[in-house]
Amino acid sequence: MTARILDGKAFAAKLRAQVADAVVGLTKRGRPAPGLAVVLVGDDAASQVYVRNKVKATEGAGMRSIEHRLPADTTQDALLQLVASLNDDPTVDGILVQLPLPRHLDSAPVIAAISPAKDVDGLTIENVGRLAAGLPGLVPCTPLGCMLLLDAALGDLAGKRALVIGRSALVGRPIAQLLTQANATVTVAHSKTRDLAGEARRAEILVAAIGQADFVRGDWIAPGATVIDVGINRIVENGTARLVGDVAYDEALPVAGAITPVPGGVGPMTIACLLANTVVAAHRRHGDVAPR
């Protein structure tokens, strides 16, 4: 038996199509197409690729993409002023500041300056607090994508034993909170966890968000477990670079019940969820009922 592959690419395409339908619904009611503003500071190569993909996906779903590319020597004040103007701009429903920022800039005040209603990355303290309190808000995109994949794979998660490896504010922690809200029994592991392999072997759902290539071995995985591999790690083998996850995929395949590949698993879901969050933000701003 080999694991069922959770095809994030196909699932994300479906989600993007649903987003496009919701955009048509909005415009039919006389609302403007939702606008997503993306702010990129500097010329980090990976960030350029991410932003290009986000712009393409935004336009592909019938939404408006508003790009702000700022030079690497942009000042903190100039960036804060731009965020303030986007907060006030009625044509902007979502604001995304691409991280990391150049070293001379402090990301915390920039994120804090984003209006929580337009915070489609779910990073402001208001949205972080709403998630922790179980209140509706805007949920970080990668964790949301993981939950949608788990929902597709397993349906009801109530009572399932879940292990999340990683506790970052961006990924591990919000995933653990969403799993708890879905009534899973959740353990959060990190670099100080003892007997991580033993913890993993008890998990029916294993989420790896560590950032280390092939860290989770096949014999850590319980037979039939659902494995969500968030990691994106670039490795070079025989002079050729490729992306691998945090889970040793070939070892996991014969043991797990279902698994996300890297690439093509969680990654594509992240951008689709960004679009979904923008549509939700647009609905709320107009006082319309947001799609689920």
* Binding site, annotated residues for NADP(+): 166-168, 232
93, 121, 214, 229: the catalytic one is 121
Beta bridge partners of 162: 186, 205
Residue 185 β-bridge partners: 161
Residue 32 interacts with ligand NDP (CB under 6 A): yes or no: no
Contact with ligand NDP (CB under 6 A) among 181, 233, 286, 290: 233
Of 98, 117, 122, which Cα lies nearest the Cα of 49? 98
Q: What would the two tokens of residue 292 be?
A: 């689920």
Q: Which stretch binds ligand NDP (CB under 6 A): 112-120, 161-169, 175-183, 275-283?
A: 161-169
Site size with ligand NDP, rule: CB under 6 A? 25
Is 118 a known active-site residue? no
Residue 216 DSSP symbol: B
Candidates 29, 192, 194, 292: give the one binding ligand NDP (CB under 6 A): 192
Rounded alpha-carbon distances, angstroms, from residue 257 to 154, 194, 195, 203, 254: 10, 25, 23, 12, 8
Dist. CA 92–CA 221, nearest whole Å: 44
Among the listed residues 11, 148, 267, 278, the single contact to ligand NDP using CB under 6 A: 267
Identify which range of 100-108, 164-172, 234-242, 281-289 contacts ligand NDP by CB under 6 A.
164-172
Choice between 92 and 148, CB closer to ligand NDP: 148
Residue in 149, 202, 198, 204 with CA at minimum distance from that of residue 178 = 149
- Determine which residue in the list 38, 105, 170, 272 makes contact with ligand NDP, applying CB under 6 A: 170
CB of 234 to ligand NDP, least distance (A): 9
Query: Which residues of 211-254 form beta strands (DSSP E)?
Result: 226-229, 233-237, 240-244
Active site residues: 54, 98, 121
